Every structure is written in structure tokens, then in C-alpha cells.
Structure 1
Amino acid sequence: MMGAVHGPQGQRHILVADLGFGDAGKGATVDRLCRSGGVAAVVRFNGGAQAAHNVVTPDGRHHTFAQFGSGTLHGVPTHLSRFTAVDPLALAAEADHLRSVGVPDPYALLGVDRDAPLTTPYHAAAGRLRELARGAARHGSCGMGVGETTRYALAHPGDQPTAGDCSARPRLLRRLRLLRDRLTDELGPLGAPPVEACAEAYTAFARAVRLTDGTRLRELATRGGLVFEGAQGVLLDEWHGFHPYTTWSTTTFGNAETLLAEAGAAGEGLRLGVVRTYTTRHGPGPLVTEDPELSAALPEPHNGHGRWQGAFRIGHFDAVAHSYAAEVCGGVDALAVTHLDAPRRCRGLRICRAYGIDGALVERLPAGPPGDLVRQAELTGRLLRAAPALWDTPGRDPRRWSEAIGSLLGAPVLLESSGPARQRVNDLRSMGKSKYLSGKGSALSV
């Protein structure tokens, strides 16, 4: 079904965030938003090369987007903001695959903020060594060095290699050597390539892409709508997630709203939360509604056991956790509900509306201020003792599931997906949501 995304008056931009632990369908959602034009760029606003946003086109092409925006197959440019960690080596491999699925010159569609931190083989090696040292208490790292990139930047402000350094070889070499030596002194041999080899690849990267400054987003915003594509999920947020099973990244809408304000469009973004009809997560940490029997009924063609992340786990839809996610990210304007074919494939799929924790019925998880990791760790401890206590069973009709999820999370459902390439966009005007009506020329056409 073709239609238009109608944002609030004057709103032309869409901010996309996953309200779970990741893997809810952000890639397919962004791909759908970009399908019919009107999008000037996809802006990545957190995370790095560990993103795995799967897009399957109607003609059967498949690509797992990591750093390129998920609108690339439609020729939509990508802007990697300063809030994303850039891995040029992983980017080259991704560009190669994009060429194989019909994108002739992926780098021509890519712009990178000079201040974006650089993820290197030294970061990846250090992150893996730290995870191995945790033994049975592993956090579920992706093993790609994105968290280590943030950790190093915080520990050594001013020394973190950046994308801009790739065009300034002397500074790049100095920072890479300092990074390698510090991490080696702390953790031992890293088993990573020589600095000179990395520098050679990074200078080639700088020649291939467009390195930009802070004015680029304002320029893009004057050309059309922007789609801000988040990575991972709000329940993994560095401040609001279930510590310590979290990411070193702000996964809420916060970074996207900062960038939008800097582009001169503060408040002009529709906040779109993405959820599946069931709840999933990679690796260790709380998953209150986990049901091992669902794995056989709902096989995952693009997700499985990861060497560093651990097992891919499946549970029933967790309205308590997803409502918490919506609250800590400041609320959502609309929802994208994916995997609406699952209730028909799995008769026993349900919605958990409340937990039992230490003999008490819990229908809502209270949100706390950012930065209180002791509080978040205590919340994690409670969730590890929780069990589902109150259920809804919408049945097998996708419409009932869409209505139930929208009602529980307090937002209209804008986009519905029943498969990797089967999606429809709802007209929020027909749902009585007048605040979503757009002014002339202000809607993203999808």
C-alpha cells in the first residue's frame, strides 16, 4: 500500500528507534520510508559497524546494513554523524556487497562527519579481550570494538582517532600508535595489523568518501526530509538500559534530536518507535517473557548464535519493557509494528501485561534519571527475578495485534509489516490523529 507519512504541522523528518533490545526491523522500516522518494538522506545517529539491519527487496535482493543507511538500495544518501563510530575496514566490505546487489558506487552516496570517532582493529581486539576476561559474567559484546571506541574516547579525550584524521596522515599515525601502545600496555598483545597498514587503508577511505563538517545536515535538511536511523534498541541504552547488559551508546531519540536542532529543525521530527509482535534479544541479560519453544515456531533467517553476542533469544511481546522504553526516550509519536505474520505462524503467541516480582504485581517499570547505573543494576536484578503474571491473547488476526500494541504503548501504528518485503503505511489522518496532519509540502512521501 502506497501512501504518505504525515508528520505534525511543519514536520518533514522521521526519527526511527527500536523500542526493544534491537532486531525489531529498523532496516526494513527505513527502507520502506525511503522507497518512494522525498528523502534527502538517512542519518545514522548512534552505534557503529555492529548494526545489522536486514533489508530484503521485493525482487529478492538482501543486504545487512551496518554503516550505510538502509535507504541505500533506493539511492538515498547516508550521513554518518559525529555520534556514530566509523570503521573504514568494515565499511569497505559492506560497500563491496552493496555493489553485488546493484549499487554501482556506494561511496558516492556516503558523507562522514569529520568528528566521528574511528573504530580500529585495536579497539576490536581490546574489547574482545575484556569480554573474555569476564568469563561467565560476559555482557554480550558484538566483538567489533564499538564500545571500546567510546571507552577509549572517554578515558583519553583529545587522543581518539577520528574520521577527519584519515586525511591528515601524520596526526593519524601518531594517534594510532598511541592507541595501540596504551591498549597493549593495559591488556597485552592485541594481535592486530601494523599501524602503517591501517593508516594506508584509512587514507584510501578519506579519498573515497565525502568528509563533512557541522553544516552538512543543515544543507541536507533544505533539500527534503531526513530519516534518522538508530542502531540497537532503547532497552540497551547506556543510561536507561538494564545495566550491565547494555551498549556504550545513546539508543534513544536524544542524539537525533540534537542533530535535528543543529540543522535548524528543532521539534520537526516524528518519533517512530519500532517493535516486533514478539520480543527478542541477543546474548545475556533480562528477557522476562523468554519462551524456548518459540525458537522452533519462529525461526530467524538472519539472526542466530553469535560468537561474542551469544544466543539469539525469543520471548512473547513484553508490554511492560516496551512501555518503559517508550517512556525513557520521551514518548513516541507513532509506531512501526513488524512481524505481524508471526501470530498466524505461532498459535500460542501472547502479550505480557504485567510481571510478578518478589510476590508483587508489576505493570510499570519506573524510569529514572540518566547516569544512575547503580539504580539500573538494581532494576536488572529485579528483572532477573521476574516472571510473566498477566497475559493478553489477541489471537491470530494481525489487525488485533496492531491495535493491541498501539493501545498498550499509547501511540498510533503508522507502519505495519508482515514480512521482509510486505509492508503497508497507515494514514494517521483516517485514525483521527489530527496532530499528525502536515502542512503543504511537509510530508515525507513513502
Structure 2
Amino acid sequence: MKSIKVIIGSNFGDEGKGLMTDYMCSMNENTVVIRFNSSAQAGHTVVTPDGKRHVFGHFGAGSLQGIPTFLSSYFSVNPLLFLKEYDELNKIGIIPYTMIDPNCPVVIPQDMILNQILERHRGNNKHGSCGLGYNESIVRNSIDRYKITCGDIFSGVYKDKLGIIKKEYIDKRVEQLNLKYSNDNLMNILFDANIIEHFIYDVDNNFKSKIELSNIESILENYQTPIFEGAQGLMLSEDYKYFPYVTHSKTGVSNVIDLLEEAKLSELDIEVIYVTRSYLTRHGAGPLPNEMKEKPYKNIKDLTNIQNEFQGILRFAPLDIDLLSENIENDYNKISFKSKNKKINISKSIAITCLDQVDNNKAEYYKDNNLLLKNTNEFIEDILRKINPDNCYLSYGVSKDNIVKYSNKD
């Protein structure tokens, strides 16, 4: 029976998915990390017990342990940011092994430029974009004539498509976005032919040599414990109620189920681990229930989500365990396999991170629309009673050796 681990953020992202992925890689044998949604705008922080730190965008959060990464067809590859991160990892002694599905869509420089111009153009009505071109790439890649995949890169077809995009698509998209008369400094760069030339050079001379094409069937056959690492969170999913302050990605379990169906495995043991901080955060524009003017605990330290032009500052709120339960149940109930001849065991787990940041062992949170202040153990027990998980992972620090696991069914 194939053991599958799925790591999913329960809120607006930044819950600790990198931490939990790193932990799962250390607790299982012959693992591979599979990215199944989103793109390079993920920021999954891993800190080793000896203090080595990296924020992962393209590569799986097990990379500091030498665990390989597979970028599935639901992941959008940004070659320029891939190379930037690859060099960052090299500087700390890591050479990541990366396999990519040939159907992976590609993010091109014009996607990033359009994204940044548009987000600035929105002024006070920003959607909370990271400015890395993911949403723009989804729009462009939805049109076959302008779609570029990793397979196109290896066949060389992508070069012709880049020319067609410059000749036909960019003007159309600028018109659609009402940016024709924008005086943004990036407008001139958007139409600069040198961008395409430099991109082709980087792809052909650097990017292609650092990846290997593969597919989900081969990955699941060759690795004992695939770990599906989700990006962002359930409250940012494209089908969540906070549109348009969401991402163009399914952040829950749906894509994982589709990939497992594609692989046609007959026996599966799936553990879905939903991750939350001990409080709620949002980095970017959009609703944040019960938002606070200041961070809830003085001990909170976040070196990853720094203030920037597009997302602003990291925002905070007490955790609402009823909303947390609603998010998890809505996603977990989507697990349904079309093939009825499979033998499938499915378990639901919860991971609560940043418990070490709770001041004076007093947790502030919402339950039944009431703001409560209880000791940390009572807070944890309230969450477990509400969600009723099979397993619980409690994190009291920044690295995997600060995680404690116990079964809620014992």
C-alpha cells in the first residue's frame, strides 16, 4: 500500500507548511516532495536544527535534507526565479534535484511585468498580489496559442511562441486591463525585445540543464512516500468566498486527488495534514476576520513575511476555531475517487504551529463567536474537540525537532 502525505494550509497561507513538509521528510523513507499548485510566490521557510535557513519558492521544503522535488502539471514554473533560488541554495551547499512534468505551464517575464503594473494601477484597491506574475500566467496559458509549457522549452517551440506573444498578445492584454495609457516605468520594458532574448539565453544555457522531465506515474512508482506540499491556504483558494482577494489556484486537496487518479494506483494510505498557526495571519489585501491593529503576542517573530510594495505588512487576528473547522471540513469532504475498485485508507490530521509564541501560556482565540483567553493546553483541546483529527502535530519552535506528534484516537 502506497503511503501518501498531503500538507495543506488551513488559512491565508504562512501557516508552517514548509516546517511540516521538512518534518514529514525526516520521518519517512525514500521520500519525494510534490508541488501540486501555485508557483514561485510560495514562501515556505525551513530552519534546520543547526540554524541553516531557506525560504522555498520553487523547490520542495525537504531540499535541505537532499530530498528531490517533483513539480507537477498543476505547478507553474518561473525559470528566472527558479535559477535565482537555485543559486541561493548552492551558496549554502545544496544542489537540488528537480523533476518537472512536461505539461507544467511556464511563467514568462512579461507575466511578471504586467502583474506589477496592474497591481500598482489598482491603487488602494489592490488584490494582494505578490507581483510575481502567477495570475497573469494563468490567463495567458489558458489560451492555447500563447500557452508555454516545460515540454515546449525542451522541444524549442517556446521561442516561436514568445515571438507570437510579443507580436499579438501583449497589446491585447494591455487593452483588456485598461493599461494602455499607464505611465508606469515598466511599460517600456514590457515591449523591449531584449527581455525575450535574455530569457531565451537563461532558459537554454542555465535552466534546462538543472531539471529532468518526468511524470506523476513514474514519481509515485519510484518513491516510497510521496509528500504533497501545498502552497498558500484554503482561504485563498480560487473557489473561496473572498473573491477577488484569492489566487488562481486550488489550494486544497482537489489537485492531489486528480494526480492520484491519473497515476491509477489501486492501494493508497493517505494522511491529509491541515496546518494552522496558533493565530491567524494574512499578508496582502483582502478580508481578515477579526483583524487586530497589532500582533496578538509579543513573542511573534516572522522573518519571512517582510513588508513590501505589493503585499504591505503582515496582518494578524486571533484564530477562529469554528472558521478553521469549516475550512478543513469543506476541503476534506472533497476527497472522492472516481475509481471504486481502489483500497483507500484516509486520515485527517491537524498541525498547530507557533505555539512557542503564545505569551505567558495564554492563548487568545474565538470559539462560538466568543473571544476567549485560556491556557495553551485548553486552546489545543478546544481545537481537537472541534476538528476531531486522527493525529495531531504540535510545533513549539522553528525547526522540525520542535514538533511533537500524538494520536487523538488513543
- TM tier, shorter chain? 0.7 to 0.9
Are 2:100 and 1:112 aligned?
Answer: yes
TM-score norm. by structure 1 comes to: 0.80
SS in 2 for 1:275: strand
Are 2:58 and 1:72 aligned?
Answer: no
Are 2:160 and 1:162 aligned?
Answer: no
CA distance in 1, matches of 2:55, 2:227: 18
| Alignment deviations for residues 370-404 of structure 1 (CA, whole Å, 9 cap, x no partner) | xxxxxxxxxxxxxxxxxxx4123232x3x333222
Query: Residue 393 of structure 2 contacts residue 406 of structure 2 at CA under 8 Å; is this kept in 1?
Result: no
Paired letter, 1:180: K
CA distance in 2, matches of 1:337, 1:207: 39
Aligned residues: 378
Q: Using the TM superposition, give the Cα deviation of residue 164 of structure 1 relative to its aligned residue in structure 2, in angstroms.
A: 1.3
| Alignment deviations for residues 395-434 of structure 1 (CA, whole Å, 9 cap, x no partner) | 2x3x333222222223244321111014234242xx436x
Aligned to 2:120: 132
SS in 2 for 1:310: coil
* RMSD, aligned α-carbons: 2.0
SS in 2 for 1:206: helix
Aligned to 2:19: 28
Structure 2 residue ranges without an equivalent (≥5): 175-179, 181-186, 334-346
CA distance in 2, matches of 1:134, 1:402: 40
CA distance in 2, matches of 1:132, 1:293: 26
Aligned to 1:383: none
Q: Using the TM superposition, give the Cα deviation of residue 239 of structure 1 relative to its aligned residue in structure 2, in angstroms.
A: 0.7
Q: Using the TM superposition, give the Cα deviation of residue 269 of structure 1 relative to its aligned residue in structure 2, in angstroms.
A: 1.7
Q: Using the TM superposition, give the Cα deviation of residue 78 of structure 1 relative to its aligned residue in structure 2, in angstroms.
A: 0.2
Q: 2:165 aligns with which of 167, 179, 198?
A: 179
Are 2:214 and 1:236 aligned?
Answer: no
SS in 2 for 1:84: coil
Paired letter, 1:208: K
Query: Residue 218 of structure 1 contacts residue 264 of structure 1 at CA under 8 Å; is this kept in 2?
Result: no
Aligned to 1:375: none
Query: Residue 34 of structure 2 contacts residue 227 of structure 2 at CA under 8 Å; is this kept in 1?
Result: yes
Q: Using the TM superposition, give the Cα deviation of residue 22 of structure 1 relative to its aligned residue in structure 2, in angstroms.
A: 0.2
Q: Using the TM superposition, give the Cα deviation of residue 159 of structure 1 relative to its aligned residue in structure 2, in angstroms.
A: 2.7
Query: Residue 252 of structure 1 contacts residue 329 of structure 1 at CA under 8 Å; is this kept in 2?
Result: yes
Aligned to 1:342: 357
Query: Residue 16 of structure 2 contacts residue 45 of structure 2 at CA under 8 Å; is this kept in 1?
Result: yes
Q: 1:207 aligns with which of 209, 231, 244?
A: 209
Aligned to 2:85: 94
Query: Residue 113 of structure 1 contacts residue 214 of structure 1 at CA under 8 Å; is this kept in 2?
Result: yes
Between 239-248 and 70-79, report the one with greater CA deviation: 239-248
TM-score norm. by structure 2 comes to: 0.87
Paired letter, 1:325: N
Query: Residue 83 of structure 1 contacts residue 255 of structure 1 at CA under 8 Å; is this kept in 2?
Result: yes
SS in 2 for 1:269: strand
Aligned to 1:15: 6
Query: Residue 216 of structure 2 contacts residue 259 of structure 2 at CA under 8 Å; is this kept in 1?
Result: no
Query: Residue 113 of structure 2 contacts residue 133 of structure 2 at CA under 8 Å; is this kept in 1?
Result: yes
